[in-house]
């Protein structure tokens, strides 16, 4: 049997915080329990928001916490060739088209969608692209994005924590944006290509990403992946709890919450064990 390969994949758009620590505990815990290997991937696909000093700080904090990857980190910003090759695979199947819609164009079009077409609550957090440019034959070029045609399908998978899941990516999100109008590869596209090319067999991430699993499974299949990875979606940290409040809105922790940054806790003299314990005490 092939060994388990998972990954920890932070975006260097801020410092490491308690939410990352919860993810790391799940990634390393689950993977090591199954004698697997952990890869480290710097998801700096958003060139406008990614900063090298955040990456350096994240890697340093991670090492301090004792989370060691089995290979040196890879950076998405250095994998353009790999994404272009993946795009070619899709292009040969006639699945790629240019799209110059802005996010507000998509929002406007989506707002006109009848309520009956709306899906379950957790799937409504995202906009559905209605295929505005699918038949336009728009030329590719600067300030033009690229989309991948999704075919109607029901994607079934068994989440290792949540059990059997069923998603309809083309109804849920419409054709998938692979590269945006700024020339950035999207999270969905880059992560799916990387998981495929790097041979990742186990994806462990927060439950906020559950709704995107079906489209990643379909995209992976279109890229030629025979077997999708296994997925485990873990609970998120509660922001109200992490901030010491009670009864506040149940929000997930974000990178802008400086008071839960690992840097700050280190500066206050916390030990790695204390930081990990605190992070896990805030999980839903
Ligand atoms: Zn469009």
Distance 270 CA to ligand 1 centre (A): 49
pLDDT at 239: 66
Distance 131 CA to ligand 1 centre (A): 6
| Structural tokens at position 181 | 């109008």
Distance 89 CA to ligand 1 centre (A): 21
Sheet holding 96-99, edge to edge: 96-99, 145-148, 176-179
Query: Distance (Å, rounded) from C-alpha 163 to C-alpha 160?
Result: 6
pLDDT at 108: 82
Contact 198, 7 (CB under 8 A): yes
Distance 116 CA to ligand 1 centre (A): 23
Distance 212 CA to ligand 1 centre (A): 20
Distance 137 CA to ligand 1 centre (A): 11
Distance 191 CA to ligand 1 centre (A): 22
Conformation bin of residue 192: beta by default, left when phi > 0, alpha when psi is -120 to 50: alpha
Distance 175 CA to ligand 1 centre (A): 9
Query: Distance (Å, rounded) from C-alpha 262 to C-alpha 17?
Result: 5
Distance 183 CA to ligand 1 centre (A): 15
Q: What is the mean pLDDT of residues 160-186?
A: 95
pLDDT digits (tens, 9 = 90+) for 61-79: 999 999 999 999 999 999 9
- 10 Å Cβ neighbour count for 69? 18
pLDDT digits (tens, 9 = 90+) for 77-98: 999 999 999 999 999 999 999 9
Query: Distance (Å, rounded) from C-alpha 218 to C-alpha 150?
Result: 8
Distance 106 CA to ligand 1 centre (A): 8
Distance 190 CA to ligand 1 centre (A): 20
Choice among 73-82, 107-116, 225-234, 239-248 with the minimum mean pLDDT: 239-248
């Amino acid at each position: 049997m092939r060994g388990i390969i998972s990954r920890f994949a932070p975006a260097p758009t801020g410092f490491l915080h308690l939410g990352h620590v919860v993810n790391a505990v799940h990634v390393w815990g689950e993977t090591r329990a199954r004698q697997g290997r952990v890869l480290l991937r710097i998801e700096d696909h958003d060139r406008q928001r990614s900063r090298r000093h955040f990456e350096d700080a994240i890697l340093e904090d991670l090492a301090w916490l004792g989370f060691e990857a089995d290979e040196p980190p890879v950076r998405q910003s250095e994998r353009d060739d790999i994404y272009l090759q993946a795009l070619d695979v899709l292009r040969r199947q006639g699945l790629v088209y240019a799209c110059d819609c802005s996010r507000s164009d998509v929002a406007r079009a989506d707002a006109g969608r009848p309520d009956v077409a709306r899906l379950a609550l957790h799937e409504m957090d995202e906009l559905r692209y209605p295929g505005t440019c699918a038949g336009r034959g728009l030329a590719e070029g600067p300030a033009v994005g690229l989309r991948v045609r999704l075919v109607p399908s029901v994607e079934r998978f068994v989440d290792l924590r949540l059990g059997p899941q069923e998603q309809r990516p083309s109804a849920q999100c419409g054709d998938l944006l692979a590269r945006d109008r700024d020339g950035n590869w999207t999270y969905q596209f880059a992560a799916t290509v990387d998981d495929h090319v790097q041979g990742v067999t186990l994806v462990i991430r927060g439950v906020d990403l559950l709704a995107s699993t079906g489209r990643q499974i379909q995209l992976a299949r279109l890229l030629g992946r025979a077997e999708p990875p296994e997925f485990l979606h873990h609970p998120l940290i509660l922001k109200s709890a992490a901030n010491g409040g009670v009864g506040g809105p149940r929000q997930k922790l974000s990178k802008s919450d400086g008071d839960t940054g690992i840097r700050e806790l280190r500066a206050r003299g916390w030990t790695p064990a204390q930081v990990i314990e605190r992070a896990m005490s805030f999980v839903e």
